[in-house]
């Protein structure tokens, strides 16, 4: 019989997809290229007009990256920032879980719970596009490279969520039912 992982071989699929989704989420939420802006955007006009922006910085026409600490944004932009940060934090926890899933035994229920967290990451990553409803995009915004990565990350989070529900190795697959009370009763402890 070929060697298998502690939680079963089915944990490899969601581990691969969640790792790719986590990397894409990092790229989408931390870089300065989430969306492109029109030339007349009033928010990103100081010190140079922006060509694209991310959740925490923007790229000006001179090609230099600028931090957004000195700028004030509306609640929709701030909500997008919070959702992007939540995706990265929760995605990191999911990634750590799958890192240990090959070495430690986790049951199917644990994988379903982690699958729910992957689904939450999918929703949160998708809601980052709430930024299109903010005042930053009043003049019109388009997708940049980071926006495309955010879409791909949301899809991969969903695929990982779906695959995670089938992963995990039940305790009875090793010869026992996994229930200590039930095994004692079968041995004669009536």
Per-residue pLDDT reduced to its tens digit, 16-49: 888 999 999 999 988 888 888 876 655 655 566 7
E strands, 38-180, in order: 50-53, 57-60, 65-67, 141-143
Task: Report the alpha-carbon distance of residue 129 to residue 186 in Å, rounded.
Answer: 57
Better-scored residue on pLDDT, 107 or 171 = 107
Q: Are 73 and 43 in contact (CB under 8 A)?
A: yes
């Amino acid at each position: 019989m070929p060697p298998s992982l502690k939680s079963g071989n089915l944990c490899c699929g969601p581990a691969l997809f969640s790792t790719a989704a986590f990397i894409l989420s990092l790229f989408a939420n931390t870089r300065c290229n989430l969306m492109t802006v029109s030339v007349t955007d009033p928010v990103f006009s100081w010190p140079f007009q922006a060509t694209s922006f991310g959740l925490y910085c923007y790229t000006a026409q001179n090609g230099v990256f600028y931090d957004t600490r000195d700028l004030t944004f509306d609640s929709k932009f701030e909500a997008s920032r919070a959702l992007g940060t939540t995706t990265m934090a929760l995605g990191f926890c999911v990634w750590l879980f799958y890192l240990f899933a090959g070495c430690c035994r986790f049951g199917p229920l644990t994988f379903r719970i982690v699958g729910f967290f992957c689904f939450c990451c999918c929703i949160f990553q998708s809601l980052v596009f709430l930024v299109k409803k903010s005042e930053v995009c009043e003049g019109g915004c388009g997708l940049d490279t980071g926006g495309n990565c955010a879409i791909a990350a949301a899809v991969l989070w969903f695929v990982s969520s779906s695959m995670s529900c089938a992963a995990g190795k039940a305790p009875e697959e090793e010869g026992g039912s996994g229930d200590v009370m039930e095994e004692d009763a079968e041995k004669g402890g009536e």
